Structure 1
Amino acid sequence: MEIKDLKALLEKRLDRPEWKMTFNKDEETLRVEHKELKKGVTLSLKPLAAKYEQQKEAALDEVVRYVESALRAFDKKAELKGNEKDIFPVIRATSFPTETKDGKELLFEEHTAETRIYYSLDLGDSYTLITKEMLEDEGMTEEKVKEMALFNVRSLPCEVKEDTVAGNTFYFLSSNDGYDASRILNETFIAKMNERVEGQLALAVPHHDVLVFADIKNDQGYDVLAQLAFQFFSQGRVPITALPFLYEDRELEPIFILAQRKPKGK
């Protein structure tokens, strides 16, 4: 689908008197903003166009729900105290902004060369990223919020689906709760998956609604994982990175650095 055609479909579906839409031709993005609150979301149309080719109206339905829930969230007052169980870490690309549109500094920390960890307050049908100003207003420390977020993500279910391609086993975690990629921070879960594999464990977080594990047993496994990661990355509503990682000694290392390595035996 052409970007201009997708833009027209979205403008029709997202037409609200209280919203305004701004198209950036160079970046191929559509900004949907609440006129009064001056807050909104920016949609990247290129990956959405690819997703539309496969899912048609279902892809548009998902985007509309996302925009509606996100803009409704701006009307809600986000309070951390009393909602500690709803604080979660979220994985984002290193290109993701470190402050809000109105200049408030987001709470984040570095994760890998490709990813950062941000922190969010779940609002039910949406979420808001936690700013340092929110911590100051409620008298909470960064350490406490990070501790609660990691505790909460460890409490999430970790059910995976399994598939085998070219002698390599792939596991997919996609519960669509907004924190699938965040489960990469559950060290106990990752360690269990490492014990489960027979070859080399590799992981990918191409977008925020999927976490991929690969039991790499031959050279083809690297190629298949790279293709899977790129496909998911191009289709994700919140893309993170198309670059997979090898898991060794409790560390994540980008596969492009170790591309010539052979999978180790157990």
Structure 2
Amino acid sequence: MDSKQMVQQLQTKLGDNFTYTFDEKYDKLRLEHKTLQKGMDILIGDLVAKYEQKKEAAINEVIYTVEQTFLAMEKEAASGFGGLTNVYPVVRSTSFPKASKEGHAFVTTKHTAETRIYYALDLGTTYRLIDEDMLQKLNVTATQVTEAAKFRAKSLSTTYKQDEVAGNVFYFVNANDGYDASRILNEPFLADMEARVEGEMTVSVPHQDVLIIGDIRNEVGYDILAQMTMHFFTVGMVPITSLSFVYEEGKLEPIFILAKNKVQEEQKK
């Protein structure tokens, strides 16, 4: 399927509630909701690539995301925002936009060299990232939002599945609630896992719907981890980073930085 065929598929499935503008140069489709006067962009090239792997499931995922996003906007327009009880932190790549399409800066907090924390208002089946304009509508400060989100992150379940590969143990948190990667901000949970692991503890957030904790007990484990995180990164709806972090005493350090430091130490000898 080529890009034009994909655009036709989306138009057929989404119907007449939207106006469609396809930018062939950037392979991007712009949707504008006729009633709400709000829109969103879909990167058609990325969707075509995912279609090659997942077929109709790739299209259905995008349709679901679009429908739920605009349904949330309709609810927002009709009843306004709720309070801070439904605010959660979400982790994004540092390359993720810092402002909304309307130009309002998102509320963010520094996290690592690879990741940044954003804050989301949960709307049931989807959520909306909080920006400065929303702060006024919520009648709250950025500090109140970050504190509320920090508390909510600790309330998320930490159920995981365990797998052992070549003597290394991996734990997968995959609740599919939209906040799996946010568990990286649950410090008590990470501390508990650190006490459990026997080797070196790694933490990975390749996309928003998974958190991987590694108990790396041999050198092969790092190769396995790299392949695993790259796979998750490429198939995720919202990729974050293919790099993993070593976790020690409450701190996250990118593995490639540690490797670089070790090389420099060897060169000094």
So what's the TM-score if we normalise by structure 2? Answer: 0.88
The aligned residue for residue 212 of structure 1 is 212
Question: Matched residue of 2:223: which SS?
Answer: helix
Query: Cα deviations across residues 145-185 of structure 1 (Å, max 9, x unaligned)?
Result: 11111111111111111111121111111111100011110
* Contact 1:86/1:121 (8 A) holds in 2: yes
Distance 2:53 2:162 in 1: 22
The aligned residue for residue 98 of structure 1 is 98
Instruction: For residue 42 of structure 1, report the CA deviation from its aligned partner.
Output: 2.5
- Go from structure 1 to structure 2 and tell me whether the alpha carbon gap of 1:26 and 1:237 turns closer, same or farther (over 3 Å shift): farther
Amino acid at match of 2:191: A
Question: Matched residue of 1:256: which SS?
Answer: helix
Which ranges in structure 2 are unaligned for 5 or more consecutive residues? Answer: 263-269
Choose 1 or 2 for highest CA Rg: 2
The aligned residue for residue 128 of structure 2 is 128
Question: Matched residue of 1:76: which SS?
Answer: helix
Amino acid at match of 1:242: S
Distance 2:145 2:118 in 1: 11
1:64 aligns with 2:49: no
The aligned residue for residue 145 of structure 1 is 145
Instruction: For residue 205 of structure 1, report the CA deviation from its aligned partner.
Output: 0.8
The aligned residue for residue 22 of structure 1 is 21
The aligned residue for residue 264 of structure 1 is none
Query: Cα deviations across residues 195-241 of structure 1 (Å, max 9, x unaligned)?
Result: 11110111111111111111111111111111111111111111111
- Go from structure 1 to structure 2 and tell me whether the alpha carbon gap of 1:9 and 1:137 turns closer, same or farther (over 3 Å shift): closer
Distance 2:116 2:72 in 1: 23
Instruction: For residue 118 of structure 1, report the CA deviation from its aligned partner.
Output: 0.6
- Go from structure 1 to structure 2 and tell me whether the alpha carbon gap of 1:170 and 1:83 turns closer, same or farther (over 3 Å shift): same
Instruction: For residue 27 of structure 1, report the CA deviation from its aligned partner.
Output: 4.1
Question: Matched residue of 1:75: which SS?
Answer: helix
* Contact 2:83/2:138 (8 A) holds in 1: no
Matches within 5 A, 1:83-94: 83-94=83-94
Question: Matched residue of 2:256: which SS?
Answer: coil
Matches within 5 A, 1:1-266: 2-3=2-3, 5-14=5-14, 16-77=15-76, 79-80=80-81, 82-259=82-259
Distance 1:162 1:230 in 2: 19
Amino acid at match of 1:102: E
Question: Matched residue of 2:75: which SS?
Answer: coil
Question: Matched residue of 2:201: which SS?
Answer: strand
So what's the TM-score if we normalise by structure 1? Answer: 0.89
- Go from structure 1 to structure 2 and tell me whether the alpha carbon gap of 1:166 and 1:259 turns closer, same or farther (over 3 Å shift): farther
The aligned residue for residue 265 of structure 2 is none
Instruction: For residue 113 of structure 1, report the CA deviation from its aligned partner.
Output: 0.7
* Contact 1:207/1:240 (8 A) holds in 2: yes
Question: Matched residue of 1:258: which SS?
Answer: helix
Write 1 or 2 for the structure with the bigger share of helix. Answer: 2
* Contact 1:50/1:234 (8 A) holds in 2: no
Amino acid at match of 1:228: M
Root mean square deviation, CA, Å: 2.2
* Contact 1:109/1:117 (8 A) holds in 2: yes
Query: Cα deviations across residues 117-154 of structure 1 (Å, max 9, x unaligned)?
Result: 11111011111111122223443121111111111111
* Contact 1:41/1:70 (8 A) holds in 2: no
Distance 2:228 2:185 in 1: 21
Which ranges in structure 1 are unaligned for 5 or more consecutive residues? Answer: 262-266
Distance 2:63 2:55 in 1: 13
**Paired positions, count:** 260
